[in-house]
Structure 1
Amino acid sequence: MLRGLTTITYTADDVAAARDWYASLLGQDAYFAQPAEDTPAYVEFRVGVDEDELGIMDRRFAAPVARDAAAGAGATVYWAVDDVEATLARLAELGATPHEPRTERGPGFVTASVVDPFGNVLGVMENRHFDELASGRRA
């Protein structure tokens, strides 16, 4: 039934500021914005070898439960990283605050999460299965 991840959507009161923050974190500009001119209500980035989609939507358009939830509430999406510690340091430099500390989940699995400056939980993970799959795709 579930075939794979298509888009992860974070929300922000200031989409332009969130776009700029994520552009700094990712080292790339958003490839899509709606509206394309003026103040965006939605922007998208492509991330990683699979070009996973990261969207940032104006919080006004989120479902009521998402708008009303406290910072850090909801599901945590974990993004694959090479080094959790280095990534946490970079996220802290950019103004993210700790949510869940670095946690060993088993051999080859380390997780942590932060809350971005816009109230979204951003999870990061060293994941040996992801690395194995990614290596196969590059070969």
Structure 2
Amino acid sequence: MSLRGFATLNFWADDLAAAATWYTEFLGVAPYFNRPGYVEFRLGDHQAELGIIDRRYAPAGVTGEPGGAIMYWHVDDLAATVERLIALGAREFEPITPRGDSGFVTGSVVDPFGNVLGVMYNPHYVDVHDARVS
């Protein structure tokens, strides 16, 4: 199982080491880049970057509460991905929800560090990816 899509996304964590361990467990890969205050994973079809930053470097006003935009990663098996995230200690933020009748389905969780992680099945992503590798 892997996340697919996007370029760079940064999350904040009060306990960077615990966050790096949790995401390593979920993703099945260790960070490729690690320095004090920051770790970064490369993921998916286009090696998108997921960075985890020590919360003490967050801009003023950033809280530990979920809020703002939700960035969705394409996954091939949405139900299994959400189930695994919850088994690893995330909590449901938004249940799995069909978006119209074209096959788009979303869900999101809050990771143990207060970040919203959106996952979705996106048929457009699959079509674009498949066209590029054909």
TM-score under structure 1 normalisation? 0.88
Gap runs ≥5 in structure 1:
36-40
Query: What is the CA distance between 1:116 and its match in structure 2?
Result: 0.1
Q: Give the AA of the match of 1:117.
A: P
Instruction: Give the 4+ runs in structure 1 shifted more than 4 A.
Output: none
SS of corresponding position for 1:65: coil
User: What letter is aligned with 2:39?
Assistant: V
Q: Equivalent residue of 1:53, what SS?
A: strand
- Return the match for 2:122 from 96, 119, 127: 127
Question: 1:59 & 1:137 partners in 2: Cα distance?
Answer: 37
Change in Cα spacing, 1:88 to 1:6, as seen in structure 2 (3 Å) is closer
List alignment gaps of at least 5 residues for structure 2: 1-5
What's 1:78 paired with?
Answer: 72
Deviation at 1:137, TM superposition (A): 2.8
Letter in 1 for 2:104: F
- Provide, for residues 61-112 of structure 1, a one-character-per-residue CA deviation record: whole Å limited to 9, x for no partner: 011221x3x5221211101111111111100110000101111002120000
C-alpha deviation, 1:136, in angstroms: 2.2
Match of 2:39 in 1: 43
1:108 aligned partner: 103
Identity %: 52
Aligned residue number for residue 38 of structure 1: none
Q: What TM-score, normalized to structure 2?
A: 0.91
Q: Tell whether the 8 Å contact from 1:71 to 1:115 is kept in structure 2 after alignment.
A: no
What is the RMSD of the two structures over their aligned residues, measured on CA atoms?
Answer: 1.2
Tell whether 2:54 aligns with 1:62. Answer: no
Indicate the structure whose relative CO is greater, using CA pairs within 8 Å and at least 6 residues apart.
2
Aligned to 1:13: 14
How many residue pairs match? The answer is: 128
Which amino acid letter does the alignment assign opposite residue 95 of structure 2? P
